[in-house]
Every structure is written in structure tokens, then in C-alpha cells.
Structure 1
């Protein structure tokens, strides 16, 4: 049986997962949340499948030690591989890719641009999930190798960010002018959604999977009578990167003030094959 007082875990390759925490705190203000952000190894989307799985399992074991009752995998790249690890842990793991796909299925666009890391775009995971529910929807993948890293730096250098957007998303927008739906397939990307709207107003609908993922977690906890009753929820942040940056960005994103921001050991890379 799930403990109602146990925290919800959130994990991401960097502080992009704050966009998921923001939605959870709006929807479930009484819940305690433990966040693990592997900023040191970010972006996962530029790494190999073996590296991603090795680091992901270490992140999940860290949250298991915190006795979480459920985990939101906020990283789209990590979520594309969920079938590889979800059965290895004693808690329910929620995929942000599945959440985003469910939202696209509900919207029923003719064309949707998937804007994500290169790994997520090439995985075909969004395309497969959406095809299962709406085979008529055309999903156009567009990966960005550096946007998540530029956002993770925390200084929001508009010139660099705009250049990366024009070189990546700009290509998809020009090639598919009739596409009006944009899937923000990386949790960092909603943090620059306003700039994307300014540059590419053709995307009149933006899918933020974090909103749907938070709703799915609430529904799961309700069904299992595991919602925390009363009180104000706490937020503990663990990062493998700079604690000062993570604390500052938590305030910038609009999160409730964390009770703890602490440096955590970074996941180790897999040993090279001989």
C-alpha cells in the first residue's frame, strides 16, 4: 500500500524538470516533492542509449532511497527508454513522453512538430504513441542539440538561444508552414515558450507535457488513496550541478521556496567495453 505522506519524486537531466514541479505544486499543493536534477551530465539527449540507461537507473535508485511513492520522469529522452527500466523499481514511473502523446491524441491536429533533443526526435517514441491513438496525425520530428544546454546555463543568453531556435525549429517551420501544433518535447523548452511564440506565431497550439503528466499522477494517487491530506507540501532539491543556480532558477520558474537545495553525487558513466 502506498503511504500518503511519502513524497513524489521528479527526475530530469537538469532543471527542466522544474516545469513539471510547477504543475504538480499547482495541482497538488499538499504533496512533498523530491527532485533530482543531473545537471552535470546534461543533456542526456546527446548521449548513447547505454549511457542514458546507466545514469537513469542511478537517478531512480537515489529517489528510491528517499522512499518516494511515485516518480515523474520529466526528461523526454529518459522517458523514451522507460520500457527498459520501469519494472525494476517498487514505485510507479510516469513517462512525460506518454503524457505529451496523450495530449496530442486529444487535440487531433493534422500535423504536429515535435521539438526535442536529437535523441528523442530520432527515437520515434512520440510518433509511435501518437500513431497508436491517432494514425492520421503526422508528427514531424525536429531535434535541437544545444537548446537544453543553453537554457541549463541559467543566463538565458537570448542571442545564442534565438540562433539555435532559428537553426533547428526554424527549419521545421519553413518546411511545414501548415503545422500549427508544437510539442515541447524537452522540459527545458517551456522556459523559452514566449520567445518561440514571437519567432514562430504559426504554432498557435503548444503542447506542454508537464501539465498532463501532473494530472496523471494526481489521478493515480487518488485511485490508490495516497493523496497527502492537509498542510503545505515541501520541496527538496538535489542536483549534481551548481546549487546556487538551481536555487535561483527555482525562484525564477515560480516554485515554492525549497526547504533544501543540496549537492548530490553524479551518476557514473558505464565502464567502456573492452
Structure 2
């Protein structure tokens, strides 16, 4: 362990792997099955439990607990894992659990995420890259969260729910079903409220692609036909657009939850025609 700093009050169990340049601050506890990559910082009072791996450059703030046993009564106690990607910031009081041995057996969190205070990632979830979880954002078990997703404060996502890439979930919402890529969901219980146009711009999506996504959205949720009929039309009309087809593929690959739809009487996608 080169250039590793471990505070005298910290407990690092035999077997733990601490990468070069990492810092383990006061009153931290690192379990025997933990692996910290290079240049990881545990600020203070952090618990890294179970078979947990933190990628290079992660920074974890006080009272965060990573790798706790799953809150799943079917779990029998076999070894399962939590893997967190590079350069992820985990703020105060965040909890992330290992997988359960009756399901995937692994919880996976991508790189460059920002998890604000007291947010939670439950067992057997898969979370993509560049996500932002605001304070108190909560995932139940078995959720699949895409890249560039933003979840607002105090928003809860139901177990087995899929959230597509670049979706935005507004704060204080209850998300009972799947949210399409680029979708914007809000409410209790949440409805689809249009497209996350701001998020699309921030990720560098071209104006032309944004316009195509908007047209595909209108086609898919045209209430004069069934969604199945609309998907067939979208497959034909948008076959040459990867971003539009990502909506079609997401809705065609049904999960355990229904997908959110716009409420009756809603407008189109909430954008403007210059997007």
C-alpha cells in the first residue's frame, strides 16, 4: 500500500485491499472483504461492509454505509456484492446494499455518480453512469437505472422498475412504473409529464435529435390508437434514428412494471417547437 493514509482511529480489517493514494479518515470501518481503488477518500465515520468494491477516485462522506446486508427476508446470507464505479461522490448518510442470494447477487453502481445526503440504493439494483440522486432519493430492490438519470429529492422508485437513459424524476414523486428514456415524470403517483429537454441539451444531444425524439414521443402516445399500434408505426417511421428507436426498444422490452404514460388531457411533450 503506497502513499496510503489511515487515521489511527480507523479500523481496517485484515484482508481489505486499499489502493495507492487512498485515505481512510477518522473512525472509519473497512471490512475484510472490501476493496478500495486508487485515490479513494473515506472522509470520516464511513462503514464499508461486505464484499464491496469502490472504484478509483471515489469520495465518501461521514455516516455513509456501503455494503450492508440486503433488506430482503429471502436472503439466506450467502456472499453477494456491491460494486461502485470510478469518481463517484457519496454524501452524508447514503446507504447502498449488496445484492441478495435469491436474485442477481450483485448491486452495481456506475461511474461519475453524485449521491446526495441520505439517498439509498437497495439490493440487486443496477445504476448507470453520470447519475444524480438528490437528498433522500430512494431505490427499492431490483431497479434498473440508466445513464444520465436525475432523481429529485425525496423521490421513491418502486421495486423492479426501469428508468431509461436521460430521464428526470421530479422531487417528492412516487414512481410506480417504468419511465421511458428522456422522459420526465412527476407526481404521486407519478405520470409521464413530457420529455427531459433540458437534460438532453446538457448531454450534448443535437437539436435535430431532440426534434426526432419529440416526434417519436407524440407518435407513441397518440391516444387515437393503442400503444402497440403506435410502436409499430414508430418502428417504421423512425427506423433510421437511434435515439428514437431507444424509446421503441425500451417499451418493447417490458419489465415487471407497467410503463408511465401522460395523463388524459395533457399536452404533447412539454417542450417548444424550437427544441
TM-score, normalization: structure 1? 0.25
Structure having the higher strand fraction is 2
TM-score normalised by length of structure 2? 0.25
